[in-house]
């Protein structure tokens, strides 16, 4: 049976939900994105008026203010957006149990089994669109196709409040003229490589010899060739199915520029606390510690190191992160964003080879201390216990990185099925 895949995308999700709850802001350019006074955050979403003025998702708040002086910023309310996401998934569940979220506002739906009862994929998409509008008060754009890649292209093709069907008869007319960067997984660097090969459209990518793509892009070139030709057989996951976690990290835009090592240390310790607490919560330890830094001119770098002993201990993660920072930053410019991540994860109960040169008793004491802090914070709140370094700058240390963090979905191809790609 030929698959029928939908990709549903809530239009301007955060901004639409805010306008639904703040009707007094209708008619004004609006963006969701943190606290403009504290400069904490970027534009997470914008309405149509802000979009027309040139505001883009991912833009720093001060940049958005420059291109649209009348813009109104509202802080994000993730609990509210997550509630709308859950309500949307309840509607989707009337049509399929194969639902794969791609963020809070996007989902793939495999409605193949429902078509015999509810009609074609297009008819099901129209019904979902009507229900979302009537029951939730927002709109969605939906792509309908036989694979996930083209279904997502369909939801992006017309916005807002639109349905686009991409089938095996029309995909060359709809998909192939699109710029190559519209294809999922073609980022800035990959686009540049493809452009150097004279490939500017998805159609040109589809018609390029896959061996040439493999030479210049490696395995990803073969994958993109399959995607461009509609040969993606990746399944849509079942609802609530969890993928393996490969890394855990936190990053933050700081409420003021960081100008000293002490400033950076405060933020790194806060982020390390968040990362280590989440590692312990999910019973993981990690073998690689990574730090990312962005200066005030938005130049960024990322560095990582393999650690000798797997860890989920706050002090070890923070120490490794600070070592990476000191070795790689020259303080030519102040810093406005820092991230800490731990990867190469394994279950914390897995047997490990102990080192003769490590103080295992000391490590166990630090681990028990972290567990005690977890218990106290769970019972009495995050700010009920803090490290002494946090009192050196209360503005910087006001961040609750663990509870403020948003966990993004797993990688697309973790369950991929691309026959022939090696």
10 Å Cβ neighbour count for 5? 29
DSSP label at residue 147: S
DSSP label at residue 133: I
Q: What is the pLDDT of residue 62?
A: 84
Q: Which two tokens stand for residue 394?
A: 């209360």
DSSP label at residue 42: B
Top pLDDT among 178 and 1 is at: 178
Domains parsed from the chain with CATH numbers: 1-168 (3.30.70.270), 176-241 (1.10.150.20), 247-404 (3.30.1490.100)
User: Whole-number mean pLDDT of the chain?
Assistant: 87
Q: What is the pLDDT of residue 40?
A: 54
Q: Going along 166-322, which residue ranges are E strands?
A: 247-258, 284-295, 300-311
Dist CA 81 CA 419 (whole Å): 37
The pTM of the whole model exceeds 0.75: no
Q: Would you call 135 a catalytic residue per the annotation?
A: no
Q: What is the mean pLDDT of residues 14-34?
A: 90
Model confidence pLDDT, tens digit, residues 239-249: 655 445 678 88
β-pairing, 163-165 with 140-145? Answer: parallel
Confidence bin at 202 (pLDDT 50/70/90): very high
Question: Which H or E run includes 374?
Answer: helix 360-380
% of the chain beyond a pLDDT of 90: 55
Known binding residues are 9, 105
Model confidence pLDDT, tens digit, residues 171-195: 999 999 999 999 988 987 789 999 9
Known binding residues for Mg(2+) are 9, 105
Q: What is the pLDDT of residue 350?
A: 62
Dist CA 204 CA 175 (whole Å): 11
Q: Is the pLDDT of residue 315 over 90?
A: yes
Q: What is the pLDDT of residue 410?
A: 42
Q: Is the pLDDT of residue 419 over 50?
A: no
**Residue in 18, 100, 106, 290 annotated catalytic:** 106
């Amino acid at each position: 049976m030929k698959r029928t895949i939908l990709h549903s995308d809530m239009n301007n999700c955060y901004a639409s939900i805010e306008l639904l709850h703040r009707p007094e802001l209708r008619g004004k350019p609006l963006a969701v994105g943190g606290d403009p006074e504290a400069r904490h955050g970027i534009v997470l979403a914008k309405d149509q008026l802000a979009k027309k003025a040139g505001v883009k998702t991912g833009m720093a708040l001060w940049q958005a203010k420059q291109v649209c002086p009348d813009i109104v910023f509202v802080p994000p309310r993730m609990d509210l957006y997550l509630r709308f996401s859950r309500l949307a998934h309840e509607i989707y569940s009337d049509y399929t149990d194969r639902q794969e979220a791609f963020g809070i506002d996007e989902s793939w739906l495999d409605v193949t089994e429902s078509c015999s009862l509810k009609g074609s994929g297009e008819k099901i998409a129209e019904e979902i669109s009507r229900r979302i509008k009537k029951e939730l008060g927002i709109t969605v754009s939906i792509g309908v196709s036989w694979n996930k890649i083209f279904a997502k292209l369909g939801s992006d093709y017309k916005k807002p409040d639109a349905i686009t069907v991409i089938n095996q008869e029309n995909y060359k007319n709809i998909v192939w003229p699109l710029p190559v960067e519209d294809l999922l997984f073609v980022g800035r660097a990959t686009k540049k490589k493809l452009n150097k090969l004279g490939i500017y459209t998805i159609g040109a990518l589809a018609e390029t010899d896959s061996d040439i793509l493999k030479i210049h892009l490696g395995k990803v070139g073969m994958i993109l060739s399959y995607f461009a030709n509609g040969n993606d057989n990746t399944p849509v996951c079942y609802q609530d199915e969890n993928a393996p976690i490969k890394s855990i990290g936190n990053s933050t835009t700081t409420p003021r520029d960081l100008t000293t090592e002490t400033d950076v240390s405060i933020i790194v310790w806060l982020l390390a606390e968040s990362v280590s607490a989440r590692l312990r919560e999910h019973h993981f330890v990690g073998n690689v510690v990574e730090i990312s830094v962005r200066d005030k001119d938005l130049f960024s770098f990322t560095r990582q190191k393999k650690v000798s002993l797997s860890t989920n201990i706050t002090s070890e993660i923070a120490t490794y992160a600070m070592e990476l920072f000191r070795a790689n930053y020259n303080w030519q410019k102040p810093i406005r964003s820092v991230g800490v991540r731990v990867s190469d994860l394994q279950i914390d109960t897995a047997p490990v080879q102990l080192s003769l040169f490590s103080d295992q008793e000391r490590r166990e004491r630090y681990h028990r201390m972290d567990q005690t802090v977890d218990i106290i914070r769970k019972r009495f709140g995050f700010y009920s216990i803090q490290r002494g370094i946090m009192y050196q700058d209360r503005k910087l240390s006001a961040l609750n990185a663990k509870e403020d963090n948003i966990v993004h979905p797993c990688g697309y191809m973790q369950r991929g099925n691309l026959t022939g790609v090696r």
